[in-house]
Amino acid sequence: MGLESIVKDEVKSLGYSQIQTDNGKVQFEADLSGIARTNLWLRTADRVKLLMGEFDAFSFEDLFEGTKALPWDQWIPRDAFIHVVGKSHKSKLYSVPDCQSIVKKAIVSKLQESYGIRGRLEEDGDKYKVEVAILKDKVTLTIDSSGTGLHKRGYRAHQGDAPLKETLAAALVKLTNWTPEHAFVDPFTGSGTIAIEAALIGQNIAPGFNREFDSENWDLLPRSVWDQAWEEAEDLANYDQPLNILGSDIDHRAIEMAKANAIEAGLGDLIDFKQMQVRDLRPSDEIGYLVGNPPYGERIGDKNVVEQTYRDLGKVMKDYPKWSVYIMTAYPYFEKCYGAKATKKRKLFNGFIKTDYHQYFGKK
Ligand SMILES: C[S@@+](CC[C@H](N)C(=O)[O-])C[C@H]1O[C@@H](n2cnc3c(N)ncnc32)[C@H](O)[C@@H]1O
């Protein structure tokens, strides 16, 4: 939530149109290749789902008939294991388990008819996750083409106390004007997520390059769709782009984790990680970008330490007027401690925590 406009920009730059944004979702039209390309390339979206259909339902019969009328047989093969999940909000059909079971029955009934199967479906093939989402009596049916959420890039084997979701870390980088010719620092790097996402962006590496997706196994999707998307990702990666990225942290265990994660991502040599307190930070570049997710001081007793950390950061960055500084925190008095008002602030959710992304633009 809060990232819809960034996801929209990403969808647009992949070349898709008819984009509509709504709370927590971005809807667009794509051809078959879009299934693979969006899964591979979207850095800030959680999942890519195929919109099978939308209709109003006020009774279980409406739900059954509306579901059965959709072309499930175009996507789901006869041996599929069909797993239905659901949610319902402000609707007559409020019992989610009942809705799930009706949707499953309707899909099974459709497939039995299409494939001419009399008895039960075997369901011993690949998994197809269908979602029934009902909002104000409007039913939306989707098939999940991603599998595990897209934030799971496959590189974060190690994580610290409060790791940032990879999708949010990518969004923090995308919200800056950083380009890979410039220096980039995350002085609160933890497990290294922001620095790693910056490196992936800097070298135009598809964030999904290191993982698998459910739709790679879809029998009814031509194999060439995924093959071409993987090939395109390989072609577009710019492994020769030099990077100047530093991740530092007060905690040496965090630095070990961040290094291991960067190696897992194949970026081991590209990012510098260093154990250091933020007050000791002295970038050598005149121009640069600092992006960080410092502690927020939620635990009792942490407040003074957190305030001191923000003061230290403000003091250091005062000597770097050409650096742009971006800090995400839920602490309401960040600017006071940092010693300057942010040029711009943007509300972002870090999980369920409402935060402000404080943006200080460097002098030109
Ligand atoms: C919220 S975590 C960052 C999580 C990170 N973005 C990730 O994805 O794993 C905050 C980090 O700031 C570090 N930290 C706290 N105080 C610090 C200080 N004074 N100087 C440098 N790092 C500090 C902590 O060790 C912790 O790893």
Q: What is the pLDDT of residues 322-350, one digit of tens each?
A: 999 999 999 999 999 999 999 999 999 99
Q: How far is the CA of 361 from the centre of ligand 1 (A)?
A: 22
CATH number of 166-360: 3.40.50.150
Q: Is 254 in the pocket of ligand 1 (CB under 6 A)?
A: yes
Residue 76 backbone zone (phi > 0: left; psi -120 to 50: alpha; other: beta): beta
Per-residue pLDDT, 300: 60
**Amino acid occupying residue 2:** G
Q: Which residues contact 264 (CB under 8 A, 6 or more apart)?
A: 154, 155, 156, 157, 210
Q: Is 167 in the pocket of ligand 1 (CB under 6 A)?
A: no
Q: Which residues contact 335 (CB under 8 A, 6 or more apart)?
A: 341, 342, 358
Of 85-89, 155-159, 287-291, give the lowest mean pLDDT range: 155-159
Q: Which residues contact 325 (CB under 8 A, 6 or more apart)?
A: 290, 313, 317, 358, 359, 360, 362
In 3D, which of 140, 130, 146, 11 has the Cα closest to residue 75? 130
Q: What is the pLDDT of residues 137-168, one digit of tens each?
A: 999 999 999 999 999 999 988 877 778 999 99
Residue 86 backbone zone (phi > 0: left; psi -120 to 50: alpha; other: beta): beta
Q: Of all atoms in ligand 1, which is nearest to the CA of residue 162?
A: 1
Q: What is the pLDDT of residues 47-63, one digit of tens each?
A: 999 999 999 999 999 99
Per-residue pLDDT, 233: 98
Q: What is the DSSP string of 155-206?
A: --S---SSPPPHHHHHHHHHTS---TTSEEEETT-TTTHHHHHHHHHHTT--
How many CA atoms, within 13 angstroms, populate the side-chain half-sphere of residue 268?
A: 5
Q: Are 41 and 33 in contact (CB under 8 A)?
A: no
Locate CATH 3.40.50.150 in the chain: 166-360
270's tokens: 């590209």
Kindly report the pTM of this predicted structure. Answer: 0.95
Neighbour tally for 24: CB within 10 Å: 11
Q: Are 279 and 317 in contact (CB under 8 A)?
A: no
In 3D, which of 183, 176, 189 has the Cα closest to residue 360? 176
Q: Take atom 13 of ligand 1 and give the residue whose Cα is closest.
A: 188
Q: Is 250 in the pocket of ligand 1 (CB under 6 A)?
A: yes
Q: Is 172 in the pocket of ligand 1 (CB under 6 A)?
A: no
Q: Are 155 and 175 in contact (CB under 8 A)?
A: no
Neighbour tally for 315: CB within 10 Å: 13
Burial of 265 (0-12, 13-18, 19+ CB in 10 A): buried
Q: What is the pLDDT of residues 165-224, one digit of tens each?
A: 999 999 999 999 999 999 999 999 999 999 999 999 999 999 999 999 999 999 999 999
Q: What is the pLDDT of residues 28-41, one digit of tens each?
A: 999 999 999 999 99
Select from 158, 185, 188, 282 the residue to mutate for testing ligand 1; criterion: most ligand atoms less than 8 Å from CB.
Answer: 188
Over 70: is that where the pLDDT of 301 sits? no
Per-residue pLDDT, 302: 86
Q: Is 266 in the pocket of ligand 1 (CB under 6 A)?
A: no
Locate CATH 3.30.2130.30 in the chain: 4-144
- Give the residue-averaged pLDDT of 259-287: 96
Q: Is 297 in the pocket of ligand 1 (CB under 6 A)?
A: no
Q: Give the rounded percent of residues in the chain with a pLDDT score beyond 70.
A: 99
pLDDT band at 88 (very low <50, low <70, confident <90, very high): very high
Edge-to-edge strand list for the sheet holding 323-329: 271-275, 245-249, 183-186, 288-292, 323-329, 353-360, 344-350
pLDDT band at 2 (very low <50, low <70, confident <90, very high): confident
User: Rounded mean pLDDT of the chain?
Assistant: 96
Q: How far is the CA of 254 from the centre of ligand 1 (A)?
A: 8
Give, in words, the CATH class of 4-144: alpha beta
